[in-house]
Amino acid sequence: MEQEIFGVTRAARYCAVSRGTLWKHIKSGALKASLTPGGHYRILKEDL
C-alpha cells in the first residue's frame, strides 16, 4: 500500500487553511511532519 505524501502548500490546501497556520502546527509539534535533507517538510495524508 502506497502512502500519499503532501508538502506544506498542498497539505494546507487539502485542509483548507493557510500555509502559515499549517506551519505553526508543524513547529509546535501538533502536526507530525518529517524534514527532507533539502529542508522541506513532508506530511503523510493519514496525519492530516
**pTM for this entry:** 0.84
Distance in angstroms (rounded) separating the CA atoms of residues 19 and 3: 22
pLDDT digits (tens, 9 = 90+) for 5-48: 999 999 999 999 999 999 999 999 999 999 999 999 999 999 99
Report the pLDDT value the prediction gives residue 1, as an integer from 0 to 100.
63
Distance in angstroms (rounded) separating the CA atoms of residues 27 and 34: 11
In the chain, domain spans: 5-47
Phi, psi torsion values for 11, nearest 5 degrees: -65, -40
Distance in angstroms (rounded) separating the CA atoms of residues 1 and 20: 31
